[in-house]
Amino acid sequence: MRKRFVFLILATAVLMLAGCKDSARQRAAENGQDATEFFDAESAAAAQKTKAAAESGERDASDSKSNAPKGITQYELPAPLKGKPEQILKREAYTVSYNKTTRNPNWVAWHLTKSHTYGRISRDKEIFTEDTSVGTPRATDNDYYTSRYDRGHMCPAGDNKWSNTAMTESFLFTNVCPQNHGLNKYEWNDLEMLCRDWAREYGSVDIVCGPIYYGQGDQKTIGKNKVWVPDAFFKVVLCRKGASKAIGFIYRNEGRKQRMEDAVCTVDEVERLTGIDFFPSLKDDVEERVEAEATISKW
């Protein structure tokens, strides 16, 4: 009885396979191909689709960096730093270059897509969290108590409403710097919203931001862990749709009103101040051109 049952299963499988082949031959005949050519054509089409996705440099909204198609270039990532501590931390939505001396990021970089500017994930239940992936001493919530500085996001919570994990990771202290309350509430927030507008308009933008220290005398710190207080903050933005363009911004870490027009600068200027090489994955001639220009009216 058991042998008969196995035989029936095998026979059914053979018939199903034959049916698939007949269907393929029929579809091939309709297209003027034989069955072998048909299967080859389908495989080639699938491979071409995968290649096109990789070469586009775009990530689907549901993809994290870890499961994005192979071959994608992360244009937002700066070149490795020279002469200062750097620990690279990969998150779902962004990448951090962490500095163990300042207890702050050197930079935070992310590829912001149009779809990532929307989402239903709320920040209301999130809390700022010590990042145990870096060594001690490191920034903690206690360092900010009575410091009169905000816990200023580099990659903002507003860019991470599309994912629970992304939202939670945006509250790690390795994505945070001591930031003047006025700057955090007004000018820096305005710039974050503008970047989201650009991502919606152009489909995506590449962003890098972080602290600036001018190095005049002893650096001001907060808390038991001596977290460095930046003198200013930078943000550089790259748009690769059409003719590529880039723009930079520098805001002083203070509460006095600062006009966005006065904060605009070239990426080259930010590189000179920070020693960071931005957008090294661009072709050299494109990188040279876009980093020397900064005209906000062209955005």
pLDDT in tens, 135-181: 999 999 999 999 999 999 999 999 999 999 999 999 999 999 999 99
Q: What is the pTM of this model?
A: 0.77
Sequential DSSP letters for 268-286: HHHHHHH-----TTS-HHH
Would you mind telling me the total number of residues written for the chain in this entry? 299
DSSP conformational letter for 292:
T
Residue 27 reports pLDDT greater than 70: no
Query: How does pLDDT run across 225-273, given as a tens digit for each residue?
Result: 999 999 999 999 999 999 999 999 999 999 999 999 999 999 999 999 9
For residue 182, the SS3 value is: helix
Residues known to be catalytic:
153
Residue 32's pLDDT is 38
Question: Based on C-alpha coordinates, what's the Rg of the chain?
Answer: 25
Comparing C-alpha atoms, which of 167, 235, 241, 170 is closest to residue 204? 241
